[in-house]
Amino acid sequence: MAGRAAGTTFFRGGRDDGLSEDKQKGLIGELAILEWLSILIGPRAAITAWTGPMGSPKDFELHGHCIEVKARRAVAQPYVRISNEFQLADVDDHQLWLGVMAADKVTEPFGHTLDHFVAHAAAHFRDGDADIALLWEAAISATGYRIEDDYSGIRWVDSSPSWHEVRDGFPPVDLPLRDGVGGLKYAIALAACAPFEVDETVVKEALSEGSGIG
């Protein structure tokens, strides 16, 4: 497939299945924001900021800013699922932004496979600086995506994200948790996030200022 040829070139043996539907959905959301950042602050800064695949609790970490991305079904219950207590935790001297977008399964000929989304993102990082290409390969490999896995049976459509500023008053989980408590998973009602929603231009201006561009 053309999408596979344009994706990653790293191969890792010992597994005969691909990413679950939930993980595909989450990766599609992160790739959308990665491409958006690449256009906004440049490919090197964007791929360096993509820290989630490397084990960071935040999906993206930039100078003075963090971004957490949540992809959900458009018709799902009106909540966003938070995977651990650190995803929306404060980081000293950083503003945290929450991007919420829809990613839904559709039937052929509509939508695209995960391979297409990976290939589309790869084009931002593979056609130029070799160091940037290596950073891309390492990050996409760390997500668990492999070129040899078959994703042809599921097609997706995604939406533009809605942006939220995580600040005082945002539905919190108080940290630190009590001794012995960890691995917390919880949900936040979208209605409770609504007062913190901001226009995309607000996020663009903040990130551009923090990166020293514009």
Domain that holds residue 151: 2-211
Beta bridge partners of 98: 68, 164
Please state at what angle helix 114-126 crosses helix 21-41, rounded to 10 degrees.
30
- State the total domains in the chain: 1
SS3 194: helix
Q: For the whole model, what pTM was predicted? A: 0.87
Q: Residues of the chain with pLDDT > 70: what percent?
A: 90
Beta bridge partners of 165: 97
The model's pLDDT over 129-146, given as tens digits with 9 standing for 90+, comes to 999 999 999 999 999 999
Longest dimension (CA), the chain: 52
29/161 Cα distance (integer angstroms): 9
Location of structure tokens 């979208």: 190
